[in-house]
Amino acid sequence: GNVTVYELAECLQVDVHTIYNWIQKRELPYNILRANTRTFLGIDVAAFWKWAQQNKELINFSKVSLNTLIPEPDWVKEQRKYDYFNRPKYENKKWTEEEDARLWYMFYQEGRTQQEIGQLIGRSAHGIQRRLHRLRKKKLPQ
């Protein structure tokens, strides 16, 4: 059947806003569910798995517990194993001041790309991009 956006976020161990973002920008299929006086966004589990197979890079399947969303397709087991061994080492870890300084130096002094820096320090290129954006806002106030 259906799960709510909040239930899906909990199962995938992501923020609920990530699910809303997928609905708006990545065309995650949803239904509007009504219960008494409230409405919810519902995600059909079968439709979710079909969508997830096309958008594997968005989800860290190693964080998704076995059979959390059933029926779980056969490809998820392999993807879970792949994600466990191939995700950046420090994904979702807090940044330290030393890492911020190193990132700033590598990008602006050494001229390295975000991809290179990500590989060197075990973070995703997207994580490097987001952190640089936040550091710029902090160092260069509007």
Same domain, 64 and 134: no
Count of structural domains, the chain: 2
Same domain, 69 and 111: no
How much is the pLDDT for 142? 58
For residue 92, is it within any domain?
A: no
pTM for the model stands at 0.64
How much is the pLDDT for 139? 83
How much is the pLDDT for 138? 87
How much is the pLDDT for 89? 64
How much is the pLDDT for 134? 92
Same domain, 77 and 121: no
Q: What DSSP element (H or E) covers 79?
A: helix 75-86
Tell me how far CA of residue 14 lies from CA of 5, 18, 64, 98, 104, in angstroms. Answer: 11, 7, 10, 27, 28
How much is the pLDDT for 44? 93
How much is the pLDDT for 88? 67
Same domain, 55 and 27: yes
**Rounded to whole angstroms, how far apart are CA atoms 132 and 18?**
20
Q: Which of 41, 57, 86 is the last residue of a domain?
A: 86
Same domain, 81 and 101: no
Same domain, 52 and 113: no
E-state strands within 6-135 = 31-35, 38-44
For residue 91, is it within any domain?
A: no
Beta strands across the sheet bearing 38-44: 2-4, 38-44, 31-35
- pLDDT tens by residue, the chain, 142 residues: 899 999 999 999 888 999 999 999 999 999 998 888 898 899 999 999 999 999 998 898 988 888 888 899 999 999 999 988 887 666 667 889 999 999 999 999 999 999 899 888 888 888 899 999 999 988 876 5
Same domain, 51 and 110: no
For residue 111, is it within any domain?
A: yes
The 3-state DSSP class for residue 27 equals coil
Residue with the two structure tokens 């708006």: 24
How much is the pLDDT for 84? 84
**Rounded to whole angstroms, how far apart are CA atoms 118 and 124?**
5
The residue segments making up the domain with residue 23 are 2-86
